[in-house]
Structure 1
Amino acid sequence: MKTLPLRQLAPLVVAPLLFALVTGLDVANAAAPSAIAAPVAPGAPVANATSFENSEAARVQAPPSGRAAATASPLYRTGTLPSVNCQAGQIRAGSAASYRTFMTRVTRCLNLSWKTQFRKAKLAFSQPRLRFTTTRVNTPCGRWPSSAGGLYCSANRTIYIGVTRETLKNPYAPNHAQFMAHEYGHHVQHLAGIMRYYANSTARAGAAGKLAFSRRLELQADCLGSAFLRQISSSLPVEQEHWDGMVRWVYANGHKNWPKNDHGKGRSQAYWMDRGFDAGSPSACNTWTAPSGRVA
């Protein structure tokens, strides 16, 4: 794919860099997914299926509970994400079909990458649902935030992606891939038990505390998304000079759609994006133990 000249980057990154999380307050929805037995071929001995289920059960463990889910996640010890050959194609300006195809392909790459990472962490994994919409639909988690181009709802484990005329003006693939990877990062947080800790903590916090927890959650999703983007950078592709241009834009503008500062200042977003991209690993993304100045 031919990448765009750097001078064209700034006006193109505006629309998709609008991230959001909507999480249900019913923390029962944050439980790890139930194991699903693999289908057994006709005539196969039942003992074989039982052995498979037992081995899978022995391999998977429950994520840590409480604060440890966020501060000491097994994902932080899994090394770099796998390098996935993610040739998602091109987005044609104004083409909703090409946008949906691109984002669907990136999601498949995310599924492959994070499935491997969860296996290394010995945590249960399940794919999120993906829904494209041309309107700001209501979700089981509540109303669509006005500033958001997309969102993740933990109640039904669904990533909602808005397909709007404004979004389709921007065909710059790495920007949209980062957007999708950020929303997928919230699904990762949900499966790892981090979102359960976040929901419980914000339920007890005051106004300032809620914003502080939200920033740690959102900035971690920035970092996780960027770690993934690094590992597909050769096939998408994402050239270093264009990545640097994206980060500079976020530094100057990333906070402007979030007047309550629930996603972090532009410099904080840029810092965690760079950390994730440089490392290509969740180990760089522990925002929960970072000093307050890094998640401001």
Structure 2
Amino acid sequence: MRLDGPESRNVEDRRGQGFGGRGIAVGGGLGGVVLLVIALLLGVDPSVLLEGNPGAQQGSPGAQRQLTPEDEAGRRFVAQVLGETEQVWHAEFSRLGRSYEEPTLVLFSGATQSGCGFAQAQMGPFYCPNDRKVYIDLDFMADLQRRLRAGGDFAAAYIVAHEVGHHVQNLFGVLGRADQVRRGRGEAESNAIQVRIELQADCLAGAWARRAHETRNILDKGDIEEGLNAAAAVGDDRIQRAGQGYVVPESFTHGSSAQRVRWFRRGLETGRLDACDTFAAGSL
């Protein structure tokens, strides 16, 4: 990637700070899928983690540590990616006669407190609609990319853009409306709604990349392939097949690999928000 633009000022770096507390918060985005990956890798019941049982996880004081030059490079990268998303979404919201409210991206180590509760790195990157912040542990994200074989700088940028996509959904009221619809529904139907939320965030991430490349030429050769590979790597079917040897479609919460690739590609090819209406799509 070619990230020559200004860094966002909306990065809150909590790395190296101690932590403590109980509970676990899942704020949407890749969090649920990543949490499932960790559960399968560790051989534990994913439902224990996903239910957010207050006694399921317990934090302990974290040691203070000095940030390294690599830490600073990681901060600069996400600040530049976040800055690129701000430029694109400010322009898109202005075109629609609206004002874009920038999210904050929180970098943390191990665990931290979010507006959605106590969060641990094992949740993976996630967006919390309550405080309108994206939370990322860069060390864990890099390790996850290695485990899923989804490397590359654009693959990491796709993850950031996906979570910012949830922020865009939040500003448009999509997350609130979807939450209301899900209330009182059965598990399978609720999961199906969540899949549409996640696929829309994938599409919005693709639309961001298209717009940013058109205006500032940010993509290098191979970047698109990195993004498509990352989208495929976190498909529910691939994760379930790797972890348990079979697939349960009604339990999907983020979509299959093919679906995630399809909607990310749709955003990349069109660059249009209206092309990302997964809720109006008869087929995903």
Give TM-score, length-normalised by structure 1. 0.62
Higher relative contact order (CA 8 A, sep 6+): 1
Q: Give yes or no for the alignment of 1:19 onto 2:30.
A: yes
Contact 1:106 1:180 in 2 (8 A): yes
Partner residue in 2 for 1:284: 275
Counterpart of 2:160 in structure 1: which amino acid? M
Map 1:8-157 to 2 at 5 A.
19-20=30-31, 95-144=70-119, 148-157=123-132
1:254 corresponds to: 235
> What is residue 210 of structure 2 aligned with on the other side?
230
The aligned amino acid for 1:19 is L
> Following TM superposition, by how much is the alpha carbon of 1:248 offset from its aligned partner in structure 2, in angstroms?
4.6
Q: Which moved more, 1:152-161 or 1:200-209?
A: 200-209
CA distance in 2, matches of 1:248, 1:164: 20
Distance 2:121 2:239 in 1: 9
Question: Secondary structure at 2:79's aligned position in 1?
Answer: helix
Shift, 1:115, TM fit: 1.4
Q: Which amino acid aligns with 1:290?
A: A
2:200–2:276 Cα contact (<8 Å) kept: yes
Q: 1:85-135 CA distances to partner (integer Å, 9 max, x unpaired)? A: xxxxxxxxx922111111011111211211121122123421111110111
Contact 2:202 2:264 in 1 (8 A): yes
Pair 1:193 & 2:142 matched: no
CA RMSD of aligned residues (A): 3.0
Alignment partner of 2:190 out of 193, 207, 210: 210
Q: In structure 2, give the amino acid aligned to 1:187.
A: H
Partners of 1:280 and 1:273 in 2: how far apart?
10
CA distance in 2, matches of 1:185, 1:164: 22
Aligned-partner SS, 1:198: helix
Larger radius of gyration: 1
Q: How many residues align?
A: 208
Give the structure 1 partner of residue 263 of structure 2: 272
How far apart in 2 are the matches of 1:165 and 1:195?
26
Equivalent-residue separation in structure 2 for 1:145 and 1:216 (angstroms): 25
- Asked if the contact 1:177–1:229 (Cα under 8 Å) also holds between the matched residues in 2, the reply is no
**Cα displacement (A) at 1:270:** 0.4
Q: Could you tell me which amino acid in structure 2 is paired with residue 244 of structure 1?
A: E
Deviations 1:145-176 (A, max 9, x none): 77642111011111111121561787722111
User: Residues 166 and 179 from structure 1, CA distance in 2 versus in 1: closer, same or farther, beyond 3 angstroms?
Assistant: closer
Query: Does the Cα contact within 8 Å between 2:231 and 2:264 map onto a contact in 1?
Result: no
Partner residue, 2:52: none
